[in-house]
Amino acid sequence: MKRITYLFAAILMTINACAQEHESSVEVVTSQQNHYTTELVISELDAPWGMAFLPDESILVTERAGKLILFKDKVKTVINGLPKIKASGQGGLMDVELHPDYETNGWIYLSYASEEGEGAGSNTAILRAKLKNNSLVEQQLIYKASPNSKKGHHFGSRITFDKEGYLYFSIGDRGNRDENPQDITRDGGKIYRLNDDGSIPSDNPFVDDANAKKAIYSYGHRNPQGMTIHPETGEIWTHEHGPKGGDEINIINKNKNYGWPKISYGINYDGTVLTEDTDLPGMEQPLFYWVPSIAPSGFTIVSSDKYPDWKNDLLVGSLKFQYIERLVLENNKVVKREKLFEDLGRIRSIKQAPNGFIYIGVENVGVVRIIPKK
CATH of the domain at 282: 2.120.10.30
Let me know if residue 140 belongs to a domain: yes
Task: Assess contact for 315 and 326: CB atoms under 8 A.
Answer: yes
Let me know if residue 284 belongs to a domain: yes
As a whole number of Å, the end-to-end CA separation of the chain is: 50
pLDDT recorded at residue 10: 40
DSSP state of 91: B
pLDDT recorded at residue 35: 86
The domain of 47 spans 9-372
- HSE-up of 362 (CA within 13 Å, CB side)? 25
Determine phi and psi for 21, rounding to 5 degrees. Answer: -65, -35
d(CA 334, CA 190): 25
Catalytic residues: 154
Let me know if residue 16 belongs to a domain: yes
Task: Assess contact for 258 and 197: CB atoms under 8 A.
Answer: no
Let me know if residue 286 belongs to a domain: yes
Let me know if residue 130 belongs to a domain: yes
pLDDT recorded at residue 17: 42
Let me know if residue 333 belongs to a domain: yes
pLDDT recorded at residue 11: 38
Cα dist from 262 to 219, 243, 273, whole Å = 12, 13, 12
What does pLDDT average to in each consecutive run of 10 residues of the chain (374 residues)? 39 40 57 82 98 97 98 97 97 98 98 96 98 98 97 97 98 97 98 98 98 98 98 97 98 98 97 97 98 97 96 97 97 95 96 98 98 88
pLDDT recorded at residue 292: 95
Let me know if residue 2 belongs to a domain: no
Is the bond into 372 cis (omega within 30 degrees of 0)?
A: no
Coil, strand or helix at 371: strand
The number of distinct structural domains making up the chain is 1
Let me know if residue 160 belongs to a domain: yes
pTM: 0.93
